A and B are shown apart, each in its own frame.
Chain A
């Protein structure tokens, strides 16, 4: 990942995840929606837009990893937060399973049996084992490669749509594909909407990266808007091409599309995008080249999406253990590899393998929807609750549309999103027996473990937020791993950064360089201050460069607040920092510096939740 996470990096990473799911979601949705597949993607896309708006506002409010779990902690209590996190963990487990399961399907261009059971199961299991092993030994993800592939993926999908529009698109066929109430039946149509949400796997990616973003108040909403636009451009148009190329027709006495049929019946449910390519009307060498290109690209992107799921599962489990929702052993690092081995093996290895062992792609799809719709519903409900109970007159970002009633700005997007995802969750529970029992079983096991662990080990009420102390080994007892350095123009700030880098010399330590723009009360916090922002960004770039020279990872964070001191203290608390290193000049201050640093150092010393080290520059 590039060192500064701005809108481009957040967008590319999020689309890398969201865009990968079309490679399996199209076929899974077509199984239920048949000729209504394009309409179903439109409906699911509108729900996605509402969900993205909720995540954007929630993440700007609380720029920390966790997504719905974090929102629920602030809006409700730790039990609801656990429910959201546990559902999200299920989503990661199924994401790993689905992505890995479809890698062999796209590689079947080289060896046909990979498209079907049992070889796709074998291939998927191998993919999972390889990625878990790589993550256990701690191989770094080639982030730049992932971002490049995400861009290539979007470009390829746009190209497919463009070629499809000119070669096969037929509005008449799309209308003829629809047989209301017959193909699909109304119940299949109802279940197809939550299943289509599978296409939007990865909406929480931006939230999870928010801690690393320099200016979340600006970059997070922009990234979400762009992902929504990209999703709109592809997910509303590719199904039009797919259903034109593979129309609904009578096959073996049933109205269906080859997009929905398994490979043994001559269909493309297991590799829908390859099916689209094969039926675009291309021939000869062009078709061969297009198939090989799409097959390799899809397999690579799904491989990377599997890895993102593996990392997501380990991160959320670590976070849950940090909040004492799961036993401490889940965040314990391997003494040699320094990775959460137990978590990786259990939740990113064994659980996804169990999900793909039956070899049923529809089960994988519905199980994903079970976890995702539950997690999204909690996210929407949390945002509505936050607006009602913790209204921020000074909010940095407020999604729209809203309805002002009784002094509260009710978020219509969250209310609509919550109702839609809630109903979708109920549809999945009612209509699919296997998913119902596995999903409910997952929740029951989770809540039982949570309740027993809380009562017996933590000895704390279930609803109370309890944070575990930092997980230090004996060798790290005197090391600092999370440091905050407020930055401002001038030598004292650079000196503080030098000192912090020396303290953070231990591998794995991270410094957050924080630049606060103090906004006077007569201006709104979200108002653009171009010059001050540019200046703050330059200071943050310099801080990152100082970190680079020491080999220490520095994350730049730009915040807007009424008081710099309050912002620094809040950032230290949110990040669980162990020390704040703050520079203070010895020489006489200019009036503008005194206004910020004098009172700021004083405030931080009085209110910081951790140690504070004030460094004084040599007088000049």
Chain B
């Protein structure tokens, strides 16, 4: 796997991690639209980028 693909996977996972952390933290504080929205968007970004990478390289 090239450095570029490897880095894309790492960053995607970081985004998913950030999103999950945001959701957990928001839930722990009793909820809030901004936290849930940001968390969801970060997860969508990470998962979306990973899916794109998988589609492009067919693996």
Binding site for B on A (CB under 8 A): 6-8, 11, 158, 161-162, 165-166, 169-172, 174-175, 222, 225-226, 229-230, 232-233, 237, 240
Q: Write out the residue numbers on chain A whose beta carbons fall within 8 Å of the beta carbon of B11.
A: 226, 229-230, 233
Cα A166 to Cα B17 in complex, Å, equals 12
Taking CB atoms, residues of chain A closer than 8 Å to B34 are 171, 174-175
Q: Given A158-B14, A171-B35, are A222 and B4 also a contact pair (CB < 8 Å)? A: yes
Smallest CB gap from B14: residue in A: A233
Task: Rank and list the top 5 A-B pairs by shortest CB-CB distance, nearest first.
Answer: A171-B35, A165-B21, A229-B11, A171-B32, A222-B4
Can you list 6 A-B contacts with CB-CB less than 8 angstroms, sorted by A residue number?
A7-B2, A7-B4, A171-B35, A174-B34, A237-B18, A240-B38
A171–B38 contact, CB under 8 A?
Answer: yes
Size of the chain B interface, CB-CB below 8 angstroms: 19
The answer to the question of B8 belonging to the interface, with a C-beta cut-off of 8 Å to chain A, is yes
In contact, A166 and B26 (Cβ under 8 angstroms): no
Closest chain A residue, CB of each to CB of B6: A8
- Give residues of chain B (16-32) contacting chain A, Cβ–Cβ below 8 Å: 17-18, 21-22, 25-26, 29, 32
Q: Which residue on chain A has the smallest CB distance to residue B35?
A: A171
Q: Which residue of B2, B18, B21, B29 contacts A233 across the interface (Cβ within 8 Å)?
A: B18
In the bound assembly, the distance between CA atoms of A363 and B37 in angstroms comes to 36
B32 touches A172 (CB 8 A): yes
User: For B35, what are the chain A residues with a Cβ–Cβ distance below 8 Å?
Assistant: 171-172
Q: What's the Cα separation between A37 and B8 when bound, in Å?
A: 27
Please tell me if the beta carbons of A165 and B22 are within 8 angstroms of each other in the complex.
yes
CB distance from A34 to the nearest CB of B (A): 17
- Distance of A170 Cα from B38 Cα, bound (Å): 12
Given A174-B34, A230-B11, CB of A6 within 8 Å of CB of B22: no
Considering the complex, give the chain B residue whose CB is closest to the CB of A237.
B18
Q: Is the CB of B3 within 8 A of A162?
A: no
Q: Which residues of B contact A222 (CB under 8 A)?
A: 4
Contact check, B21 vs A175: say whether CB atoms are below 8 A apart.
Answer: no
Q: Could you tell me if A171 and B8 are in contact, using CB atoms closer than 8 angstroms?
A: no
In chain B, residues 22-54, which have Cβ atoms closer than 8 Å to a Cβ of chain A?
Answer: 22, 25-26, 29, 32, 34-35, 38
A166 and B32 form a contact (CB under 8 A)? no
A7 vs B1: C-alpha distance when bound (angstroms): 13
Enumerate chain A residues within 8 angstroms of B22, measured Cβ to Cβ: 165, 169, 171
From A161, which residue of chain B is reached at the shortest CB distance? B18
A161 to B18, CA, bound (A): 9
A229 and B21 contact, CB distance less than 8 A? no
- Which of B7, B17, B26, B29 has most chain A Cβ within 10 Å? B7
Closest Cβ–Cβ distance, residue A173 to chain B (whole Å): 9
Shortest distance between the CB of A612 and any CB in chain B (Å): 36
